[in-house]
A and B are shown apart, each in its own frame.
Chain A
């Protein structure tokens, strides 16, 4: 086991900087969740924590343990990967529940489901599979 005091200065500075960035972004995401007005605006804020908030802290961990152990430690990449892959699942679950409620109640200003039908010259109905 090695100790943090053995860490070279450049690695210590880099680690501290990355941890600060990651923690700062995650904190800003939490504040944004409180500040934004509507549900659909609020779902944007925590994304700060799940993207570069996590990314910067994972990078800091990679730098720290790689510099200490004199071998490359990259299993933190798995954390970043799995957070990126699983976030859409929870987001879609929340958002679809919200948009279903808003459409049923007709309160909030959300586009109707019929707005997703093809319209205008953008896509022709029979053009599936042409690309």
Chain B
């Protein structure tokens, strides 16, 4: 089983993508399954680290939070751009000490931080676990540290560690 499908999630994901791009029919299912199985065996040659999902039940909840947050910050950054220089605003860097060490978790966190307008992932120091982000509308640094840690890091640690 594990030799035939070394990465079951990847295989399932590829098959789902194949079906979405073509159509949901038996023929496409079989063809997609062959392609997905072959592709994930090719992936095994690269030996990527296998992510462990400890509590996948939290994923939809996190996805909902992130979608809403991104929507909200879209509106905020839209407002900043439209207002132009009429409003006092200062941007700056915030250093956040992270406890999350799982590589997949960090990759997901980088997607969240990057996809949210108003925050940009600048640099991560693996030896100390400190993440540097740039915030467009910076008022209180501690507020941002608490936000990232409580809102995103805590659920990610529960899911991946």
Contact = CB atoms under 8 A, between A and B. Distances in A.
A75 B157 contact: no
B17 A123 contact: no
A116 B74 contact: no
Contacts of A129: 101
B51 interface: no
A77 B20 contact: yes
Nearest to B126: A116
Q: Chain A interface mostly helix, strand, loop or mixed?
A: helix
Contacts of A91: 114, 120-121
Interface residues of A, number: 43
B84 to A, nearest CB: 6
Given A25-B78, A52-B71, A131-B99, A88 B21 contact: no
Between B114, B119, B136, the greatest number of chain A beta carbons within 10 A of the residue's beta carbon is seen for B114
B116 A47 contact: yes
Contact of B74 (A25, A35, A88): A25
Contacts of B74: 25, 48, 51-52
A88 B81 contact: no
Given A40-B120, A47-B115, 4 more contacts: A28-B78, A48-B117, A92-B121, A123-B99
List 7 A-B pairs, minimum CB-CB distance, nearest first.
Answer: A116-B125, A32-B81, A47-B117, A116-B130, A75-B20, A88-B114, A122-B97
Interface of A: 24-25, 28-29, 31-32, 35, 38, 40-41, 43-45, 47-48, 50-52, 74-75, 77-78, 84-85, 87-88, 91-92, 95-96, 99, 110-111, 113, 115-118, 122-123, 128-129, 131
